Amino acid sequence: MENTFWQPEIETLPRKELEKLQVEKMRKVLARAQQSAFYSKVFADIGFKPEDFKTVDDIRRLPFTTKDNLRANYPFGLLTCSKDDIVRMHCTSGTTGNPAAVLYNRHDLDSWANLVARSMFATGARASDIFQNMSGYGLFTGGLGFQYGAEKLGCMTIPAAAGNSKRQIKLMRDFGTTCAHSVPSYLGRLHAVFLENGLDPKKDTQLKRLFIGAEPHSEETRQRIQEMFGCKAFNSFGMTEMNGPGVGFECQYQAEMHIWEDCYLLEIVDPETLEPVPEGEIGEMVITTLDRQAMPVIRYRTRDLTRIIAEPCKCGRTARRIDRIKGRSDDMFIIKGCNVFPIQVERILMKIPNVANDYLITLNSTPEGDTMLVEAELHPDFFTDDYPQLRTLQQKIARELCDEILFTPQVKLVPPGSLPKTEGKAVRVKDNRKG
């Protein structure tokens, strides 16, 4: 039988044993965390000792850690070891003030690479694959994170980095790339460049798997990507504060993402009360690192909204799955009294074949109240400047959006390629109402 697991014992560990392992690891993590300036004070303030940790539920005795805590203690406040032992840092893309920086020792990098290798293996990727990483390298974790993970798996790796679509296509074709990683918002543009050059990725590449993540995207977007490239697209969840990619990943069944619970303790809490939500309900994901030495992070409030899927997965892995990320609590905007997540808009737009992959939501404040404009690029095959035809389609989209978000936004269909592009994660909302 084909070897299905990268680490069979760990990946199929019965839940009871997995919880026992989590408690053991948690005690070690807490003892280490106590060595840092930040957590030694946190623990002293509540009179907590690592040996007090007896069951997984004891996690609730500990306070949460937030991005603001990481920023305020930048750069070394959470470090548990000598600076001499650090071999790398990464940080989030803070545009103002200090970013949240993460420090890794040798063990942490090995453990991270192993989790990315485990994730890729779970999708069916193997050492014989040729892996092209179309993610930005540098401080962004999607570059080096996938690089070392794919090398650990044994793939031939192509560190193509982000952008330069013509070169991506040439590399893909010359080296016979079979799997690739990218932010989902880039893949529509890459596909357009294939077509402009008279190529069809379904016929003219050997792609079998795409790993897509680092930004929210809908199931409709995944389906589009699969159709455009004629291969499977697997959802990949990660965040810098938790290493980067390799926190959660879909297995070969593409049935939402397994969180690697031997290395991450998972909680879902109500973002208002911070109490756990009943299993299966949507709330904010809170994660504790269980295998990080240089800089453990305890009860980190990710701001990502999701739910736990309690049913075991067909694949036999015992790590629980989380549902596709619904959005970040800080991505949500309120307009005309309605709470809107950009992904709700995306889901409606991506169901409409005439609409291409890029869209932008602009919020303005006017004397008559706040306005929301949804601009969406038209698909080149459906491009028209026939105004009545465009207007009918705009009205249809506005009606469908109203059913979803409970008021009617302005909708404007724009020519293909006309909206601003970014090299990394897509910017979907421009809120001009803020200061």
Sheet containing 308-309: order of strands: 156-158, 130-133, 179-182, 209-213, 232-239, 244-250, 257-259, 321-322, 308-309
Pairing of strands 308-309, 410-414: unpaired
- By beta-carbon proximity to ligand AMP, the closer residue of 178 and 302 is 302
Other Cβ atoms closer than 10 A to 395: 12
Q: How far apart are alpha carbons 429 and 408 in whole angstroms?
A: 17
Assign 37 to helix, strand or coil: helix
Contact criterion met (CB below 8 Å) for 102 and 73: no
Pick one of 183, 298, 315, 405: the residue that binds Zn ion (CB under 5 A).
315
Among Zn ion, ligand AMP, none, partner that 313 touches (CB below 5 to 8 angstroms by kind):
Zn ion
Among ligand AMP, Zn ion, none, partner that 216 touches (CB below 5 to 8 angstroms by kind):
ligand AMP
Q: Is 115 exposed, middle or buried (0-12, 13-18, 19+ CB in 10 A)?
A: buried
Among ligand AMP, Zn ion, none, partner that 221 touches (CB below 5 to 8 angstroms by kind):
none
- By beta-carbon proximity to ligand AMP, the closer residue of 147 and 236 is 236
Taking alpha carbons only, the member of 208, 210, 215 closest to residue 234 is 210
Q: Is 314 left (phi over 0), alpha (psi -120 to 50) or beta?
A: alpha
Among Zn ion, ligand AMP, none, partner that 302 touches (CB below 5 to 8 angstroms by kind):
ligand AMP
Interface mask toward ligand AMP for 74-93; x: CB under 6 A = ------------------x-
Which range touches ligand AMP (CB under 6 A), out of 111-119, 122-130, 212-220, 410-418?
212-220
Interface mask toward ligand AMP for 90-109; x: CB under 6 A = --x-----------------
Interaction of residue 313 with Zn ion, rule CB under 5 A: yes
Among ligand AMP, Zn ion, none, partner that 237 touches (CB below 5 to 8 angstroms by kind):
ligand AMP
- By beta-carbon proximity to Zn ion, the closer residue of 315 and 361 is 315
Other Cβ atoms closer than 10 A to 381: 10
CB of 203 to ligand AMP, least distance (A): 28
Among ligand AMP, Zn ion, none, partner that 251 touches (CB below 5 to 8 angstroms by kind):
Zn ion
Handedness of CA 327, 209, 119, 160 (dihedral sign): negative
Which runs of E-coded beta strand occur in 143-227? 156-158, 179-182, 209-213
Q: How far apart are alpha carbons 363 and 375 in whole angstroms?
A: 11
DSSP 265: E
Interface mask toward ligand AMP for 324-343; x: CB under 6 A = -x--x---------------
Interaction of residue 308 with Zn ion, rule CB under 5 A: no
Size of the site for ligand AMP (CB under 6 A): 16
Which range touches Zn ion (CB under 5 A), out of 85-93, 221-229, 313-321, 361-369?
313-321
The verdict on whether omega for the bond into residue 409 sits within 30 degrees of 0, i.e. cis, is: no
Residues 213-242 close enough to bind ligand AMP by CB under 6 A? 213-216, 235-240
Among Zn ion, ligand AMP, none, partner that 215 touches (CB below 5 to 8 angstroms by kind):
ligand AMP
Residues 224-263 close enough to bind Zn ion by CB under 5 A? 251
Over the range 399-422, which residues count as b (16 or more CB within 10 Å of their CB) and which as e? ebbeeebeeebebebbebeebeee
| Residues at the interface with ligand AMP (CB under 6 A) | 92, 141, 213-216, 235-240, 302, 304, 325, 328
Summarize as ranges the residues that interact with Zn ion (CB under 5 A).
Answer: 251, 313, 315, 317
